[in-house]
Amino acid sequence: MVAVARPLEAVLYARVSSKEQDRSGFSIPAQRGLLRAYAAAHRLAVVAEFTDVETAGRAGRAAFGEMLAYLGRHPSCRVVLVEKTDRLYRNLRDWVTVDDLHVQVHLVKEGVILSDASVSSEKFVHGIKVLVAKNYLDNLSEESRKGLLEKARQGIWPSWAPVGYRNVGRADGKRVIDVDPEMGPVVARVFEAYATGAYSVAQVASMALDWGLRYRKSRKPIPPGKVHAMLRTRLYMGEFEWKRRVYPGIHRPLVSRDAWERVQDILSGRARLRRRRRRHELLFSGIVECGPCAIQGRRFHLVGEVQKERYIYYHCEGCRMRGRARYVRQEILAGAFLEALSAGGPSAGAIAAATNVLTGREGNRGEPEDPDAWLREELRELRARMDLAYDDRLAGRIDSAYFDQRTAGWLARIRALEADLAASESSSSLTLGVPSGKPPAFELAEVVKLMKESSDTNILRAAIRELHSNSIWGENGLRIDWK
C-alpha cells in the first residue's frame, strides 16, 4: 500500500490598495478564487486567509501583521500564497521580514516559487521586482504630493474639509470645500463669541455644544482643545496653511480677517497672562540668569520649585539637562540681593520707582498716575503681533512679501507711539523733576526696609524689576546690573 503524503499547510494573502480597486477587477474575491484554485491544483491545504484593503506603502497593515504572527506561531505552516509581488509587499522592510521567516512564497500569476532553496538569480530578479514595485509606489506618492501642492497654489484646500465646511465637486471635476449649511453658521458664532473677550475657550466650547457644534460624521461633541485649534485655524478667514506656507483660498470665509486677528490677539494675550501668573508665584523665577550657562554663551534663567510644601529652591534647566543641576534656596538669593542693594547701585529714579511699587503709590483703581499707560499698552500689543508674525516668517508659514504687507502698518504705528512716548517722557522729566544720579542713603535704606517687611511676591518682583536690568547667579554669588 502506497502512503499518501499529507498536503502542505499554506496561508492565503490578498490585498487591494483602495476600496475603489476592491470594486474593480482586482477585487478580494477574485484574488481568493485564483489562490484557492491554485492550492487545490498543487495539493496545498489553506489553513488561514488574510486580506487587507489599504496601501502597502506603509508598514503596519493589519492583516499582514496577523499573517506574520500566525506563521510565527505555527512552524508547520511554511507556504504563503499571493497573487503577485506587489500584492504582498511594496516596501523593503516587509520583504526582509517575510524572508526572515524562511517560508515558501508562491507568486501565482508570475509562476514563481521563492524559498531558501531558490537559486540566486531567481532571488535577484525578485529583488528587482520589489524595487520596481517600491519605485512605482514612491512615484505615485510623489505625483500625489505634486497634485496636492498644485491645488494649494490654485487656492483649493487639498484635504478633508474641517468642521464648518464640506467637500463638494465642481463642474470641472475638481473637489473643493464649501460652507456646511448646518455647521458653518455655528463655527462663525464660535468666533464671534470668543472675539468679544468675555469668554474662555472652555466656556465657548460649552456654549457651542448647546448651539449644535458636533463632528460631522460621528456627531460627537467637540472638546475645548479642538475648539482652541479651530480658533487658530486660518482656513476660516479665507487663507490656509499647507506645507508651512500660507495660500489665499478660493472658498468662502466664515469670519472676517479683522475678527480672526482679534481672536488671535485674545488667545495670545491669555497665554501670556497664564505664563505670568505661574512665574509670579515665585520671587526670582525668570529674573535671574544662570552664570555657568552665560559663560558658555547660553541664556537660561533660574526656575523655582516648592519642595515639602514650604521650601523654595531654584535651578537652571540648561544645567539640569546636562546633568549638572545645582540648587539654591530662595532665602540665599534674597539675602544676596538685599546685601547688594544695601551697598548701593540703583539710580535715584529706580529707587523712586521701586518705592512707589512697595508703598502702593504706583497707581489706584481711579485715575491712573501714568497718563501714557494706554500708549504703552498699545505698543506692547503691536510688538507682540510683530513677534508672532516674525515667528510665522521664520517657520516658513508665510512668505516675505506677505510678512512685509502685514507688518508695514504695524511698524509705522510703533514708530509713532515710540515718538509720542519719548516726547511725553521728556516733558514729564522737565516738569516733574524726575530724580537722577545716586539716591540719598536714607531712601536706599527705606527701600531695603520695605522689601524685608513685604510678603507679597508680586509686589517684590515688580520692585526688583524696577531696580535692576539683569542679574546672574554663579560661583561668585549674585552679580547685578542696576538701573
Residue by residue, what is the 3-state secondary structure of the chain? CCCCCCCEEEEEEEEECCHHHHHCCCCHHHHHHHHHHHHHHCCEEEEEEEEEECCCCCCCCHHHHHHHHHHHHCCCCCEEEECCHHHHCCCHHHHHHHHHCCCEEEECCCCEEECCCCCHHHHHHHHHHHHHHHHHHHHHHHHHHHHHHHHHHCCCCCCCCCCCEEEEECCCCCEEEEECCCCHHHHHHHHHHHHCCCCCHHHHHHHHHHHCCECCCCCCECCHHHHHHHHCCHHHHCEEEECCEEEECCCCCCCCHHHHHHHHHHHHHHHHHHHHHHHHCCCCCCCEEEHHHHHCCCCCEEEEEEECCCEEEEEEHHHHHCCCCCCEEHHHHHHHHHHHHHCCCCCHHHHHHHHHHHHCCCCCCCCCCCCCHHHHHHHHHHHHHHHHHHHHHHCCCCCHHHHHHHHHHHHHHHHHHHHHHHHHHHHHHHHHCCCCCCCCHHHHHHHHHHHHHCCCHHHHHHHHHHHEEEEEEECCEEEEEEC
Q: How far apart are CA 420 and CA 382, in angstroms?
A: 15
Angle value at C-alpha 292, between 286 and 297, nearest 5 degrees = 85
Q: Which three cell numbers stand for residue 3?
A: 502512503
Spatial CA neighbour of 307 closest among 290, 329, 288, 332? 329
Q: Which residues are CB-neighbours of 421 under 8 A, at least 6 positions away?
A: 372, 375, 376, 379
pLDDT of residue 424: 63
Question: What three-state secondary structure class fits 12?
Answer: strand
Q: What are phi and psi of 89, to 5 degrees?
A: -155, 145
- pLDDT at residue 364, as a whole number: 39
Quote the pLDDT of residue 427.
52
pLDDT mean by block of 10 residues, the chain; 483 residues: 71 77 64 92 92 61 86 92 83 78 89 85 78 70 70 82 87 84 89 82 85 84 88 88 81 87 79 44 78 77 76 80 79 88 83 82 45 66 72 71 73 75 58 44 78 82 84 87 84
Cβ partners under 8 Å of residue 70, min gap 6: 11, 48, 50, 77
Q: Rounded to whole angstroms, how far apart are CA atoms 145 and 103?
A: 36
The pLDDT value recorded for residue 47 is 93
Q: What is the pLDDT of residue 477?
A: 87
Asked if 191 and 266 count as a contact pair (C-beta separation under 8 A), the reply is: no
Whether this model's pTM surpasses 0.85: no
Q: Nearest Cα to 302, choosing from 323, 287, 292, 312?
A: 287
pLDDT of residue 12: 94
How many whole angstroms separate alpha carbon 232 and alpha carbon 237?
Answer: 10
Phi, psi of 427 (to 5 degrees): -65, -40
For residue 432, the tally of other CB atoms under 10 A from its CB is 8
The three cell numbers locating residue 411: 511698524
Position 210 scores a pLDDT of 83
